[in-house]
Amino acid sequence: MRGEIPDKTPFTIYECMIPPCAVERELRNAGLCVVERRVGVVATHTPNVRHRSRNFTRDGAGHVEHVTETPLGELTSVERPAGFTSWHIEHMFKGPEDYKRLLFIIGDRRYETRYENHVRAQERWGGDAILRAGIGLTPLHEIMVHWMGLEMFAIEWDERRDEIEKLCNAMAAKHSELYPLIARSPAGHANYGGNEVPEVMGLERLRKFVIPLWNEAAAVFHEHGKQIGSHLDGNNRLWAKDVAESGLDYVEAFTPSPDTDMTLSDALAAWPGKFLWINFPSSVHLRSIEEIERTTRELIEAARPGNRFIMGITEDIPEDRWQGNLQAISRAVNE
């Protein structure tokens, strides 16, 4: 991450994707580094908002209902857990009357530093993990995907765009309070947003609602010698030039072709001032062990001299394949 050339390609995986077992221990002994994202350096409180949840079963599957109580009324949502992620079954935004409740929630957020948690966790992990801080999703993404859902968002964007922009502005103002708190923390780097899909976000909205926030946060982070990146794991060709000109230091979870519209070589050429912390292309996990090893070697070769490249696993692998696949990647990395 400092731009130096390592003795071998770094190989990392999210903490939620590798269960403790003999193979996990073997992989870590061979150099696999865990990316720990659960230890935050800032805690968020909403003193005037209450949350409660209940579990229930529908159509044989477990669901969780979340109820958010505000002085202006309740918001409810339902999700279905699915491994390390979850599906939104019912979004909290139901109609125009909910704008005032969401604005209240945003305004009620209070932040408190938790630097000691990070220090203790890093001491506990030692050299086996790197701890990542996070600012959270960018405001428009949170509204679009988590609060409204795409169909409702499309309607509201057409009919009440000014109300959505009020939410974005309020949330951006709150995020600006977070930037210095995280930048002054012991964390060396943090992600800001991601999962942006050009077919949904579009270039115009990215330029207006996302990139200015990346740049504002990056300016604060760089003052404190910290790095900032974003989880851009989809198609990126549409806004490659804009990402290149942004203040981001790295692109995390970049997933090269054949899964997206850019190869690793394309991305390294398009973003000369940034390093790529990639996601090994998910579709390749379904191929033979020989092809997985060959793809690993090809990626390492494309990334030469290696000072801007980290091999990562940021998506789940089929349960019956993860051990052999990760061993194959590890072998190729260490060769």
Model pLDDT for residues 301-311, shown as the tens digit of each residue? 999 999 999 99
pLDDT tens column, 260-311: 999 999 999 999 999 999 999 999 999 999 999 999 999 999 999 999 999 9
Which residues make beta-bridge pairs with 229? 191, 250
* C-alpha to C-alpha distances, 7 to 33, 38, 61, 235, nearest whole angstrom: 15, 29, 47, 31
Position 150 scores a pLDDT of: 96
∠ at Cα 75 (99, 141), nearest 5°?
60
Handedness of CA 161, 164, 170, 174 (dihedral sign): negative
Q: Tokens 């806004």, residue?
A: 239
- pTM, full prediction: 0.95
Could you tell me the fold of the domain covering 11-43+109-334? Answer: TIM Barrel (3.20.20)
The maximal CA–CA distance of the chain, rounded, in angstroms, is 61
Residue 74 has, within 13 A of its CA and on its CB side, a CA count of: 8
* pLDDT tens column, 227-261: 999 999 999 999 999 999 999 999 999 999 999 99
Q: Cβ of 234: how many Cβ atoms within 10 Å?
A: 20
Report which residue type is found at 317.
Answer: I
**Total number of residues shown for the chain:** 335
Cα 164 to Cα 57, 136, 142, 237: the distances in Å are 33, 18, 11, 27
Element (H, E) at 202: helix 198-205
Contact 225, 248 (CB under 8 A): no
Residue boundaries of the structural domains of the chain: 11-43+109-334, 47-94
Rounded-to-integer distance, Cα 75 and Cα 66, Å: 8
